[in-house]
Structure 1
Amino acid sequence: MTLHLDPADPAFARDPHAFYAAVRELGPATRVTLANGTDAWLVTGYHQARAVLTDPRLSNVPAPQTARHTSAAPSTESPPQARSAQRSVLERHMLNADADEHRRLRRLAAPAFTPRRVDAVAARIGHLADTVIGGLTAKLRQKADADLVDDFAFPLPVLVISDILGVPEADRLDLRAWTYRVGSPAATLPSGQAARAWQSLHGYFTHLIARKRRHPGDDLLSLLTHDRTPQAPDDGELLAMAFLLLFAGYETTMNLLASATLLLLTHSEELLAARTAGDPGWSAVIEETLRHASPLEGATWRRTTEPVDLGGTVIPAGASVLAVLAAANRDPRVFAAPHTFRPRRYAPGNRTAPAHLAFGHGPHVCLGARLARLEAGIALPRLFAALPSLRLATAPAVLPWRPGLLVRGPLTLPVRLA
């Protein structure tokens, strides 16, 4: 039996878990045919996904001009010839590197994401959250509906990561449009739009880095631009790092905030419990949202450098392999009631719930995980304290979701005041 998967299908995007459950039952790894006619191996079990994410025989380095599924924002519909020179440069980042090269690139960005540096921006995040929520509140009072993605979940994390990187606030809408296009299956976009987005991102970061060379600040891009150590990134690596940190820095948190709000608005008892318990309750909500509605649907694509026996299933050399984080986080052999939103499983002191894989696992685990948790922990209580009568303005079943296999979250989230 051959399984077929179209990541651009809106029905699949809305609820992929029935498909993933069927795949999981077929074995530790299952070969599927994607809508563009190519084959890939999906790994949907929790323990198998952890193994894939730490196995050195699965490389993160894309095969030269042949891998259709290996990029920071893998588009399962893009043929190899669509990989422009600009895209190739922007893909030279740490997620597409192995071993020593990966460690070198990760060390360059790591100082900006240490616990001390992240915790130091808490006050700034609180100020930005209050500003964003104030704008959302004013909009809701002036008109019936607002879009919680556009008016809350997107602007807050993009403002935070822009502060860290040194990206002007005025550019955020263009950057959102471009990163959305490169992170979506090409079949969901007008012809040529993804290629133009790669070109726009390359041009934007080229000019931004040139500006940092002339007028440095205390942001991460300025520091990297003026790094004179032997490990310093070259110009191409600078461009790739700027793209990756921006994309990963807001996409994950945007989807976390949107999905958490949607879950709380559809689970009133859990919302009440979080508001009653205070910080421990909100922390549990965040961890359970990360598990139940993983903001990253899949890890970056990997390529087998030799045959790999994964629990009795042999994946051949040269195969594209995807550890599906969203599926691993709902593995019924690991998580009780996996499809139920149950924050108390992550209540403080509860040691029975395994750690979820929402931020990956192993050497490529997300560098910004602490920052994403901090933003959500600050923003969500403020949102529901400011807007206690917030309600969905449409049925959850008809909400559109991000297409593809990379990121997962609602595209729009109409809300109103009761």
Structure 2
Amino acid sequence: MPQPLNPADPAFARDPFPYYARLRTQGPAARVALANGSDAWLVTGYRQAREVLADPRFSNVPPQGAGRPKPDSAAQRARALLARHMLNSDAPDHIRLRRLTVAAFTPRRVDALRPRIAHLAAGLVDGLAGRLDRDGIADLVDAFAFPLPVLVIGEVLGVPEEDRAALRDWTYRVGSPADALEPGAVDAAWQQLYAYFAALIERKRRTPGEDLFSTLVQDAGEGGLDDAELLAMAFLLLFAGYETTMNLLASAALLLLTHPGQLALARRGGEERWAAVVEEVLRHASPLEGTTWRRTVEPVDLGGGTEIPAEASVLVVLAAANRDPEHFPAPDDFRPERYLGGPDRAAPHAAFGHGPHFCLGARLARLEAAVALPLLFDRLPELSLAAGPAELPYRPGLLVRGPRSLPVRNVG
């Protein structure tokens, strides 16, 4: 196997793509030693990624004892309970859990959020402009890319706005490798999330609203969610509801600021060009670096001499699949035109996964970016980076990916 992979390494987090390109030369999947002492099979090819994500021989139920052994504790029990969400389940449980939430993300309901998203985004851009006028430099992640999806998903789910800062900190910690944080930080975050969601669900029972959490709590009868499933669903929908879009917005802003020609084309090109920008950002800078972990329920032959044994841990690396040169010419180049209409349109990217676990919030994430990015750059056309791209810290780990901060200034 190659040298152990350390997802907490800042250099790897900033640019994992050369590593994934080397893995891809080894075949459809490569067995990799991890810095935590375990090993896993990483799937890096586009075709193989889609096949694995649709193959029931790869179970979403996490393998027993994956990673470092963890002694029993309150934090470990909280982690185990919150991890019982639908991304970690197979049919028929997955079908039941997904059915209970899919109604909140229908095209009609998502598209109806456009005016509200535009209103929220405009207010945040005005606030960002005020910070820049006052301080000269502002963090685009803190001022724009983080609060917009949190406000939107908070309205959909019924999470109070005043809780967003604490929730961001807790979900950041549970999504990061323990090696990247101070000792005990991850365990504390799992306990804090558990306590928060338990209290939120009790509030929804006493005083329900029109939000999705209230609906799920009130529908907890036959075929509904039990208390443990409610807690896990609350965690999943909040975490997935803002993490992907936050990283999409931050990465889009970074790519456009470092590709001024593409920014100029987007500003002149209207909705079609902005839609192409969003798709290319999703491909080029996948906000979800990898899927949730899978395990093989039997030996699986992926072809090319690669057979994954039964009970192996498997990670489909979406970020690597989206840069597979067999399906995306010049995969490391940022070229939004590859997603404009016509016969040369690129293959669909895998940023939102594939198969039965395809991301429920894909349409909402696309809509938020398509609405917010033009507002940002029309209001602040002279925006520029206030730090070198190579200096930016990135989110560590193999699950989500994006700049943790993005300092900008307005040169106008």
TM-score range relative to shorter protein: over 0.9
Instruction: Note if contact 1:3-1:31 (Cα within 8 Å) is conserved in structure 2.
Output: no
Q: What displacement does 1:134 show?
A: 1.1
Instruction: Note if contact 1:181-1:193 (Cα within 8 Å) is conserved in structure 2.
Output: yes
State the distance in 1 between where 2:43 and 2:185 align: 30
User: Taking structure 2 as the reference length, what is the TM-score of the superposition?
Assistant: 0.97
Aligned: 1:179 with 2:171: yes
> Greater shift after overlay, 229-238 or 102-111?
229-238
State the distance in 1 between where 2:297 and 2:146 align: 38
Equivalent residues in 2 for 1:139-218, closer than 5 Å = 139-218=131-210
1:274-328 per-residue CA deviation (whole Å, 9 max, x = no partner) reads 0001101100000000000000000111011111111131101111000100000
Instruction: Note if contact 2:13-2:397 (Cα within 8 Å) is conserved in structure 1.
Output: yes
Q: CA 1:129 to 1:251, structure 2 compared with 1: closer, same or farther past 3 Å?
A: same
Letter of the 1:250 partner, please give it: Y
Equivalent residues in 2 for 1:2-401, closer than 5 Å = 2-64=2-64, 66-68=65-67, 79-81=69-71, 84-311=76-303, 312-401=305-394
Partner SS for 2:384: strand
Letter of the 1:338 partner, please give it: P
Q: What displacement does 1:348 show?
A: 2.6
Partner SS for 1:40: strand
Aligned match of 1:72: none
Letter of the 2:12 partner, please give it: F
State the distance in 2 between where 1:343 and 1:253 align: 18
Q: What displacement does 1:36 show?
A: 1.1
1:345-384 per-residue CA deviation (whole Å, 9 max, x = no partner) reads 0013355310000000000000000000000000000000
> What residue ranges of structure 2 are gaps of 5+ in the alignment?
none
Partner SS for 2:341: coil
State the distance in 2 between where 1:339 and 1:183 align: 26
Q: What displacement does 1:99 show?
A: 1.1
> What residue ranges of structure 1 are gaps of 5+ in the alignment?
69-77
Q: What displacement does 1:37 show?
A: 1.2
1:54-112 per-residue CA deviation (whole Å, 9 max, x = no partner) reads 11111111234x123xxxxxxxxx54337611111101110000011001000111010
Instruction: Note if contact 1:67-1:80 (Cα within 8 Å) is conserved in structure 2.
Output: no
Q: CA 1:228 to 1:297, structure 2 compared with 1: closer, same or farther past 3 Å?
A: closer
State the distance in 2 between where 1:33 and 1:47 align: 24
Instruction: Note if contact 1:87-1:199 (Cα within 8 Å) is conserved in structure 2.
Output: yes
Q: What displacement does 1:39 show?
A: 0.7
State the distance in 2 between where 1:206 and 1:3 align: 42
Letter of the 2:364 partner, please give it: L
Letter of the 2:244 partner, please give it: T
Partner SS for 1:80: coil
Partner SS for 1:394: coil
Instruction: Note if contact 1:305-1:317 (Cα within 8 Å) is conserved in structure 2.
Output: yes
State the distance in 2 between where 1:237 and 1:26 align: 40
Give the total of aligned pairs: 408
Q: What displacement does 1:192 show?
A: 0.8
State the distance in 1 between where 2:17 and 2:343 align: 26
Q: What displacement does 1:212 show?
A: 0.3
User: Taking structure 1 as the reference length, what is the TM-score of the superposition?
Assistant: 0.96
Aligned match of 1:75: none
Q: What displacement does 1:229 show?
A: 4.5
State the distance in 1 between where 2:323 and 2:220 align: 46
Q: What displacement does 1:228 show?
A: 4.8
Aligned: 1:416 with 2:409: yes
State the distance in 2 between where 1:45 and 1:412 align: 30
State the distance in 2 between where 1:187 and 1:249 align: 25
State the distance in 2 between where 1:41 and 1:80 align: 22
Instruction: Note if contact 2:63-2:313 (Cα within 8 Å) is conserved in structure 1.
Output: no
Partner SS for 1:56: coil
Letter of the 2:169 partner, please give it: A
Q: What displacement does 1:43 show?
A: 0.6
Letter of the 2:16 partner, please give it: P
Letter of the 2:41 partner, please give it: W
Partner SS for 1:49: helix
State the distance in 2 between where 1:345 and 1:314 align: 34
